[in-house]
Every structure is written in C-alpha cells, then in structure tokens.
Amino acid sequence: MQTLDPIQTGAPPGALASPAVARNTEAILDVLRAHLPAAGRVLEIASGSGEHAVAFARALPRTTWTPSDPSAEARASIAAWSAEAALSNLNRPLALDAADPDGWPPLDVQAIVCINMIHISPWAATEGLMVGAGRTLPDPGGLLALYGPFREADVPLASSNAAFDDSLKSRDPAWGLRDRDAVVACARANGLHLTRRVDMPANNLMLLFRRVT
C-alpha cells in the first residue's frame, strides 16, 4: 500500500500519484541495477500508483516487470500509467494481496520487489509476503528487495522516522515501522536470508534477501 493522490493534469484518466515516487525512484533504481538479473522477470508487490513499475520497466528494458496490488483503484492507476507508457516489458497488473500467499497465482519470476508496504500494512502482510516469496522465488539465488524505513536496535531512530511512526499508528494501530531483526527472522523462516543492507536517502533502507535451501 502507498499513499496515493489524484493526478489533476498531464496524466491519463484514472492515474494516481505517490508523492514519494519522485523522491526515491533514482536511488532505488541504482540498487536494482546492481542486483537484479540483467534479463530477469520481476514481480512488484503493492505497486500502488504504478509509477515505479513504469519507471523501472523503462530503465531496465531487458527485465519483464509484473506489477500487482490488492486495490482495484491502484490497479486502474497502474493500467492507466502503463497504457500511456506502452512498454512491451511491462505486464498487466495482478490482483495480488501480500497477506494472502495462498491466493497468489503461479508465477515464474527471479525477483520480487516491495517498496513502502510493510510499514503501511498489518504485520500479517509482511508474514504473507515472506511466505509467498519463499514459495515463488527460485532456489538458490532468487531475490527479494524491500525498501522503506525500519527500526534497528543498533541504530538510533531518526526524529523524522519517529514522527512518521507516530503518524502511521495514529491512522491505524496495526501500522508502523517494523523492527529490522523481526523482518529478517520472518524471512529466514521462509528460506530467505539477508545478504545486503543498503542505506538510502531520507533514513530509508533497502534490504536484499536471497532464496537459499
């Protein structure tokens, strides 16, 4: 899930915008370029507005990008942006709920990308994501890339992240910044091991997990 706003002008009907996209796309793309398979198939979980999907598919033309979201409104936005972009390597959005891994369709992908979801959803969505990724990614070497803010026991929480956490919990007590070690443990229980932690702008992280036996 992402925070979405209607687009007023200069975009196709039905398109939405995530204010964070313009700020974080290039930084995320730098990490993806370094770690995604050069010509692999990628599933994006909780694609939100679809702006990331379009940007990444355009920048990584040898990948095949499949966006997804449980929200019909978000899928309509993804479809609107995708139609305007007309990229041959960008698939139609799937109706996929991270919290319901038993409902995921059969997928043949080498990587899964999830941006700004786990702190704006119940913990069950993180658990479901790890179960689904563990089942879906190839063994060995399948990649799960997570982006967003986290709590870390060995790193002081930035004041901006503390305020963001309070704001999220005021909107829904089930939301909030997740403890990195809890996320890592949940991943490990599903055959996914943390291989890289990347500091990102604005006190965010990318956590990269690999599927291992």
The residue-averaged pLDDT of 24-34 equals: 97
Residue with more model confidence, 180 or 10: 180
The residue-averaged pLDDT of 41-59 equals: 97
CA 64 to chain centre: 16
- Rounded CA gap, 63 and 60, in Å? 6
- Distant-in-sequence, close-in-space partners of 21: CB < 8 Å, separation ≥ 6: 49, 51, 52, 55
> H-helix or E-strand containing 205?
strand 204-211
- Specify whether the CB–CB gap between 133 and 192 falls below 8 A: yes
Q: How confident is the model at residue 1 (pLDDT cuts 50, 70, 90)?
A: very low
Q: What is the DSSP string of 9-52?
A: SSS-TT-EE-HHHHHHHHHHHHHHHHHS-TT-EEEEES-TTSHH
68 backbone dihedrals φ, ψ, rounded to 5°:
-155, 155
Look up residue 107 and give its two tokens. Answer: 């997928």
Look up residue 164 and give its two tokens. Answer: 């963001």
- Specify whether the CB–CB gap between 12 and 56 falls below 8 A: no
- Rounded CA gap, 44 and 123, in Å? 19
- Specify whether the CB–CB gap between 36 and 89 falls below 8 A: no
Q: In this structure, which amino acid lies at residue 24? A: N
pLDDT of residue 8: 46
pLDDT tens across 137-170, in order? 999 999 999 999 999 999 999 999 999 999 999 9
115: nearest Cα among 71, 156, 149, 155: 149
pTM attached to this predicted model: 0.94
pLDDT of residue 4: 53
Average pLDDT, the chain: 94
Q: How confident is the model at residue 48 (pLDDT cuts 50, 70, 90)?
A: very high
Residue 10 scores a pLDDT above 70: no
- Distant-in-sequence, close-in-space partners of 158: CB < 8 Å, separation ≥ 6: 203
- Rounded CA gap, 66 and 122, in Å? 23
- Rounded CA gap, 195 and 137, in Å? 15
pLDDT tens across 61-109, in order? 999 999 999 999 999 999 999 999 999 999 999 999 999 999 999 999 9
